[in-house]
Amino acid sequence: MVWRAAAMVESGVCQTVVCALPFRPRPAAPDGVVDLGNVLGRADDVWGAPAPEHDYPYGNRGPTASFALVNSRYDQLFTGGPEARAKLVSDQRRSAAITPGAVHFGKPIAPEDVLASRVIAPPIRLLEVVMPCTGGAAIVVTMRERARSDVRPVSVAGFGEAVSYKLPTYAQGDVTDMPLTGASRRAFEMARITPAEIGTAQLYDAYAIAVIMSLESAGFCPRGAGNDFVNERDLSFGGDFPCNTNGGQLGFGQAGNAGGMTHVIEAVRQIQGRAGDRQSDGVDSAFVSGSGGSMAAQGALILRGDA
């Protein structure tokens, strides 16, 4: 949404675009009516779509099952997964605990708490899963000359997007090879900067494994080094690699599609110095990732603050 809005403004199609994502819980179905969205737990809630016909009847139902499949394969290839994911959740929860409006405001947890939570879809534990909530999000994209003078303008410096498969069961190749790899490469080339120059990363985090794999795909660390990267760095707002500084969807909450837009909003706030108590030091640029379809459709966005 954001890069398309920026392209429309840049090309002169319009002067201002509002990217808005409201969200309300799915209403209850009338008595006697089967609501496939509630039963199946994902957007493919129409009879005849491939997943409801060929996947859901056999237990591969809802995004947690798909992410568990990818997570299992990643753990087969690389060691240290449970401990790294637990630390990541704890780091993000530390940021959420001081973020007003966060679902887990005032509720920090330790890695041991994550490891002690019950397994819900091996190897994923309960506290590695996003916190659903109700809410909305919006971003205004406008011409540079119309931006407010009392707020630091933030420009779209680069973007990329890619789609691989709909569900991991249909992947032709390694399910740990994310489309974010190509999307990120395009975004960094367009922005003419490297991952080392990024001040904060706001990574789509419906599940903890998504962040670790995104760190690798975006180029912040080599393939297979995501667990070590998380263990060796402080990912909280005050750390040496501030990531998901409002707590991310794991700590702040995921209001449907609006949950992904909160990553963009947090990136803008960090660049503008408007993040309050969770403000990270020296943030002039931000990398944002978005994801859908169980890490099958992914986008990358690089934002840069104007001098």
Please, what are the domains in the chain? 2-305 (3.40.47.10)
The pLDDT of residue 274: 96
The pLDDT of residue 115: 98
The pLDDT of residue 112: 98
Nearest to 80 by CA among 253, 233, 241, 228: 228
The pLDDT of residue 36: 53
The pLDDT of residue 38: 52
Q: How confident is the model at residue 34 (pLDDT cuts 50, 70, 90)?
A: low
Give residue-wise pLDDT tens across range 181-207: 999 999 999 999 999 999 999 999 999
Yes or no: say if 230 and 210 are a contact pair by the CB < 8 Å rule: no
Residue 202, SS3 per DSSP: strand
The pLDDT of residue 29: 62
Q: How confident is the model at residue 94 (pLDDT cuts 50, 70, 90)?
A: very high
Q: What percent of the chain has pLDDT over 90?
A: 73
Average pLDDT over all residues of the chain? 91
Q: Taking 60 as the threshold, does the pLDDT of residue 74 lie above it?
A: yes
Q: How confident is the model at residue 28 (pLDDT cuts 50, 70, 90)?
A: low
Mean pLDDT of 81-104: 97
What is the rounded distance in angstroms from the CA atom of residue 120 to the CA atom of residue 226? 23
Lowest-confidence region among 173-182, 225-234, 269-278:
173-182
Q: Taking 60 as the threshold, does the pLDDT of residue 229 lie above it?
A: yes
CA angle 260, 151, 252 (to 5 degrees): 25
Yes or no: say if 156 and 301 are a contact pair by the CB < 8 Å rule: yes
The pLDDT of residue 46: 63
The pLDDT of residue 294: 80
Yes or no: say if 204 and 291 are a contact pair by the CB < 8 Å rule: yes
The pLDDT of residue 261: 94
Residue 206, SS3 per DSSP: coil
The pLDDT of residue 37: 55
Give residue-wise pLDDT tens across range 232-262: 999 999 999 999 999 999 999 999 888 889 9
Give residue-wise pLDDT tens across range 124-150: 999 999 988 889 999 999 998 888 788
CA angle 81, 87, 88 (to 5 degrees): 85
The pLDDT of residue 63: 85
Lowest-confidence region among 60-64, 109-113, 115-119, 194-198:
60-64
Q: Specify the pTM.
A: 0.93
Q: What percent of the chain has pLDDT over 70?
A: 92
